[in-house]
Amino acid sequence: MKLFWMEVKRQTTSLTFTIYTLLVMAFVLLNMGPMLARNVAALPTSTNSYDDITATDFQTRKTNGVGQLRYDYQHNTYVTYPLGFAKTVTLPKADQARVRSLLTQANQTETQATLVKALGQVDRLIGGQSAYSSQNIQGFASRPMTKAEARQDHNLILKKDRISGTFARLFADYAGIVMGILPTVVVVAYCYADRRSRATTSLQSKMTSTWRLVGSRYLASLVTLLMPIFLMGIVLTIQIALHYQGYQIDYLAFFKMTGLWLLPTVMVSSAVGFLSDALFGNFLGFVVQIGWWLSTMMIGARQVAGNYGWLLIPRHNSLHNVAYYEAHLPELLFNRLTYAALAIGFICLAVVLLNLQRGGKFHAINFETLGRVRTQSQRVQH
């Protein structure tokens, strides 16, 4: 326990942590500020003010999917996302003729299965990883709420979310964006500073076990990295309570969302930092995390009002669409538990590698190590 609190003190007193805190708070508060001004306790009086929802009916998916395919076919421009990056595809005449046939088939289909099959063939024709794949077809389910859906959504916000819950979900969406990348920077910088000051060598030579050392550092990083999030949760809860006096408020909503939604993301991004230090001993792991972060952001951007699936950063960039959240809560829970387990796996691997380093059986794969191997190889050849 003493080692844990020592690590918390070391991390919270660093310049890197101060910069991290300012960046996280600035990003989240700047995005949340305009949304706090919206009165979610009032039922919209005009259909023009209804938000979009992620519908669950077949007809919405068909209408939007066929409409998008017709547009893409007419312009012969199809967008795919290999490795998360947008790529425009232009098809030859023979493939265009095949798409025309599939467009007709999709327009005449009457079941979800046949629609998925038709659009899936289009996806394969243009190289895969498009909006027409079976994994991404849900993106065509977005449409404005009906009057009945707006009333149901309003009732869920007041009774189920108790107002603060809907803001907490949006808060988790914004915070998740920076939690997916900044903790890796903080942890890598923290570990790299230790290596530069030779503190790692000193720590490794002591009797503290690798499990205890890395475990204390990892838990300390989770606590310190979530400090700005908890602070903002307190501030935003007070603001909402003052603004919605007379309404039932869930005072724990922001903390629930931090544990359910944000903690697994922080666990992964922080674990990547420790694994990167054990494997490379430099900032190379951050490059890998940037690629992962960009990929999940681009995939999530296709359906920001409600998109969970296998995303490291689940998206729910809306104060509404509550029915979708409730219906897909098991999917979100499975997502979060999976990433939490993955993070623990990363930390276990980091411990194994560091244990090997302490025994002199493994060295971080950095430019210095590669240089030594190359030199030794040249000596052997001579």
Residues of the chain with pLDDT under 70: 46-49, 83-85, 195, 197-207, 359, 361-382
Instruction: Indicate the SS3 state at residue 172.
Output: helix
**Rg from Cα positions in the chain:** 25
Positive or negative: CA dihedral 172, 55, 71, 121: positive
What pLDDT sits at residue 193? Answer: 79
Query: What would the pLDDT profile of 38-88 be if each residue is shown by its tens digit?
Result: 889 988 776 666 777 777 778 888 999 999 999 999 999 998 877 656 789
pLDDT at 115: 92
Q: In the prediction, which pLDDT does 25 show?
A: 95
Q: In this predicted structure, what is the pLDDT of residue 26?
A: 95
Long-range contacts of 33-41 (CB under 8 A, 24+ apart): 35/167, 35/170, 35/319, 36/167, 36/236, 36/239, 36/240, 36/243, 38/319, 40/154, 40/157, 40/163, 40/166, 40/167, 40/319, 41/157, 41/158, 41/163, 41/244, 41/247
pLDDT at 370: 47
Whether 69 contacts 132, CB under 8 Å: yes
Q: What is the dihedral of CA 42, 45, 48, 53, to 10 degrees?
A: 50
Structure pTM?
0.79
**pLDDT at residue 304, as a whole number:** 82
What pLDDT sits at residue 198?
59
Residues 3-38 have pLDDT tens digits of 888 889 989 999 999 999 999 999 999 999 999 988
Q: Which residues lie closer than 8 Å to 275 by C-beta, 6 or more apart?
A: 285, 346, 347, 349, 350, 353
